[in-house]
Amino acid sequence: MAPVIKLNSGYDMPQVGFGLWKVDNAVASDVVYNAIKAGYRLFDGACDYGNEVECGQGVARAISEGIVKREDLFIVSKLWNTFHDAERVEPIVKKQLADWGIEYFDLYLIHFPVALEWVDPAVRYPPGWHYDGKEEIRPSKATIQETWTALESLVSKGLSKSIGISNFQAQLIYDLLRYAKIRPATLQVEHHPYLVQQELINLAKREGIAVTAYSSFGPASFKEFNMKHADALAPLIEDETIKKIAAKHNRPASQVLLRWATQRGLAIIPKSTRPQIMAENFQSIDFDLSEEDIATISAFDRGIRFNQPSNYFPTELLWIFG
């Protein structure tokens, strides 16, 4: 049984989950079904991933075959930027639930602290960053407080058991905590040895907010986007220091990177379409690194962030991230 993290909302969240970013629609149903068979119970999705219908089909198949019950699963989704206005939140959540084929989310997150003008799902879904689907980016006037208050209503209406945030930094978290009636249960952030974010993790711990790490293998997830700083860095799983630690424990380098995060108290959401790698990632919790190993890996820190929208659209998004 995978370990769990007790959330401030009172619920248990599996510490090892399965990420659904970039899982192709053609295989998403089978991938989710196979991941459930491999033991995964947490699935981290989002409107923006564009595969929630297919992921839901994988869940439905596993439930229909008696492999799991709905209450055994911890399903996470996220609010996209174009739905931050208060009146847009509940309708899109209900659409996402219908796409998944479920009645509630276990956890629902604000995907980015960025509000964009509404795009009708009937026009384009998922809407992406551009208002016209090509190049125009239109900000919305919705505040984080407005959006968070709308998320709080999801809990009282039974549409999500817990709510949280993603890609937030310290200043915004402190501001949110001033007015939040329901505190964020989790903070999901990019986290790998090149981006340790120790002060942010310390803040979350002090405030009772669980942290989920994504992109645990660093630049590997971003090579396809032709980011110069991603291409310039050696893949972490091929680094000689990481490989030496892995050899010492007779483990794959990937498990060392994942265990480094979980031993520091974080949840992880790796993904793979290959059953063998699915199993390896899931089993990364069943050995321990030494304190020296953890310190050695943490010393890789360079403060390099890959999943920053200005890395994808540097000129259009200067008003947000410049």
Return the HEC string of 91-145: HHHHHHHHHHCCCCEEEEEECCCCCECCCCCCCCCCCCCCCCCCCCCCECCCCHH
For residue 20, the one-letter residue type is L
Residue 49 bears catalytic tag: yes
DSSP-assigned letters across all residues of 4-48:
EEE-TTS-EEESB-EE-TT--HHHHHHHHHHHHHTT--EEE--GG
Residues in CB range of 159: below 8 A, 6 or more apart: 90, 93, 94, 97, 104, 105, 108
Distance CA 40, CA 2 (A): 8
Q: Is there a binding annotation on residue 229?
A: no
40, 49, 194, 214: the catalytic one is 49
For residue 48, the one-letter residue type is D
Would you list which residues are annotated within the binding site for substrate? 111
Would you list which residues are annotated within the binding site? 111
Residues with catalytic annotation? 49
